[in-house]
Amino acid sequence: MQSLISALEVRDQIAAGTITATAATTATLDRIKRLDKTLHAYNSTFEESALQQAAAIDQARSAGQPLGPLAGVPFALKDNLCTTFGTTTCSSKMLQNFRSPYNATVVNKLQAAGAVIVGKTNLDEFAMGSSTENSAFGVTRNPWNTQCVPGGSSGGSAAATAAGLCYASVGSDTGGSIRQPASLCGIVGLKPTYGLVSRYGLVAFASSLDQIGPMTRTVADAALVLNVIAGHDALDSTSWPDPVPDYLHDLDVPLREVRIGLPAEFETEGTSPQVAQAVKAAVDFYKSQGARIVPVELPHMRYGIAAYYVIAPAEASSNLARYDGVHYGHRTAAPQDLYDLYAASRAEGFGPEVQRRIMLGTYALSSGYYDAYYVRAQQVRQLIKQDFDAAFKKCDFILGPTSPTAAFEIGSKSGDPLQMYLCDVFTVTCNIAGIPGMSIPCGFSTDGLPIGLQILGPTFSEARMLRLARQYESHHDWHKRQPPIQ
């Protein structure tokens, strides 16, 4: 079985000359060819350009030129990030042939850091889903059990990272779309504070909730990638202007006298006993390391799913109105009139889940219902934010499950939207409040499926959050286990 090493390790080996960037990229592309027929983690791969990028890294190293922090690391992008190379499809027929005239800021930063972009990964269409079953281009499978989903919407990035089809990747998180698939695939997923990472060039789902973040095999790799992609961007009006710290600095220094909050609201009926047991064991570990366990309350968390599924569809309804069959995107072949052009283009281009959310959002924003739904949801949003503010006066971080269950079988929830939406019960409030959250591996079910521990912190606490996560990771080997697909 091929051993999977971290992005930091392959970066350092390339810098030391132990291996070449070309060799690392070739091996990754070969692995994609061999395994992605089963997983379908990628929508597109860029063999020629990736090898050219790798060769340029090797030439720069041979010439003694300084190398970037990700020099030679084979990297994957979620296919809702605009790139001038390849297509940007959002896994939708609507954008099946769309070629962006510009790169997302995150893509430019990764390329400047020397990352070798090997491909773009599958997702739930327009990032709307929790299982990567809603893609117009087919289902992505979980490398731990190919009969199960990898989570969503960043399921392609999670599966690719877990299976060694890249060394690291980025996803986007609107209501848990980095953390939930990270949990189900046994990797590290970090959703940064809203505004820490530029959203410029991310195809919008819900603009007040979306964030881009790293998906990696180790906590150190997440810190490495966050170092590259975080920071102010004048092209994003919501970008935080202050300088960002070095997230790798002091990463291995444990936090002392940390206060860990445990909300009673995380103890829900739908949580698997095995998930609850794994999370309890993680909390007990921190307690053994000197952490103080503090009960906290998040009384409005019970309204999180309801508020999210008003706010997010409302913003999606507005953002996706641009796909009208006129400017770009899918256009119906023979419209009868202007109305038919709009209606047929959207009916043919959007899948059922996207149509469902557009209709929900349009209804919530319509005359006579705006105050009853959208305004009320925004009021609940403020209450949820206040709950977290109050909780973080009592504790430094909040711990709990990332997902109520381990990965479920493909098709088992696709016929019941409400059950699918409840997969995000522990993750949506993080986006609603704009705080950072991450998922790290903390165990396995009796079926051999990964379980994730979620860490939530106050705004811009990523540096300390990563240290807390690394403290757990350094005493456990969950992140070193490899999925059986080989």
* pLDDT, tens digit (0-9, with 9 covering 90-100), for 5-24: 999 999 999 999 999 999 99
Are the CB atoms for 203 and 103 separated by under 8 Å? no
pLDDT in tens, 21-30: 999 999 999 9
Whose structure tokens read 């990272």?
A: 161
Query: Is the pLDDT confidence value at 308 over 50?
Result: yes
CB 426 within 8 A of CB 454: yes
**Rounded to an integer, what distance in angstroms lies between the CA atom of residue 450 and that of residue 224?**
23
For the chain, give the percent of residues with pLDDT over 70.
99
Residue 415 has a pLDDT of 86
**What percent of the chain shows pLDDT beyond 90?**
96
Instruction: Out of 6, 78, 131, 439, pick the active-site residue.
Output: 78
Average pLDDT, the chain: 97
pLDDT band at residue 268 under the 50/70/90 scheme: confident
What's the pLDDT score for residue 414? 87
> Quick one: CATH architecture of 7-258+467-480?
Alpha-Beta Complex (3.90)
Contacts of 286 (CB under 8 A, 6+ apart): 258, 260, 293, 399, 468, 471, 472
Average pLDDT of the residues in 403-420: 94
The first and second tokens of residue 58, run together, are 């090797």
pLDDT tens digit sequence for 90-106: 999 999 999 999 999 99
Among 44, 153, 157, 172, the active-site one is 153
Whether 255 has a pLDDT exceeding 70, the answer reads yes
Would you say 433 and 416 are in contact if contact means Cβ atoms under 8 Å apart? no
287 catalytically annotated: no
pLDDT band of residue 2 (cuts 50, 70, 90) is: low
So what's the pLDDT on residue 45? 98
pLDDT tens digits, one per residue of 440-472: 999 999 999 999 999 999 999 999 999 999 999
Please provide residue 456's backbone torsions phi and psi, each rounded to the nearest 5 degrees: -115, 140
The token pair that represents 333 in the structure block: 């072949």
CB pairs under 8 A, 24+ apart, for 363-370? 364/310, 364/313, 364/314, 364/317, 365/314, 365/317, 365/318
Q: Place 1 in a pLDDT band, splitting at 50, 70 and 90.
A: very low
Q: Given strand 42-45, what is the order of strands in its sheet?
A: 42-45, 116-121, 74-78, 168-173, 211-216, 188-191, 437-444, 450-456, 397-401, 259-263, 292-296
Which tokens is 439 given? 């998922």
Work out the burial of residue 288: count CB atoms within 10 Å of its CB; fewer than 13 is exposed, 13-18 middle, 19 or more buried.
exposed
Concatenated DSSP letters of 34-70: HHHHHH--EEEE-HHHHHHHHHHHHHHHHTT----TT
Domain boundaries, the chain: 7-258+467-480
Told to judge if 120 belongs to the known catalytic residues of this protein, a careful annotator would answer: no
Catalogue the E-assigned strands of 70-132.
74-78, 116-121
Provide the 3-class DSSP secondary structure of residue 217. Answer: coil
Region 129-141: what's the mean pLDDT?
97
The average pLDDT across 413-430 equals 93
Of the listed 135, 154, 172, 177, which one is catalytic?
177
Q: Give yes or no for residue 486 having a pLDDT over 80.
A: no
Active site residue 177: yes
Joined tokens for residue 475: 């005493």
Tokens of 205: 């789902």
Q: Which helix (H) or strand (E) holds 429?
A: helix 428-433
What is the arithmetic mean of pLDDT over 269-286? 96
> Is the CB of residue 247 less than 8 Å from the CB of residue 466?
yes
pLDDT grade for 252, boundaries at 50, 70 and 90: very high
Cα of 237 vs its chain's centroid, Å:
22
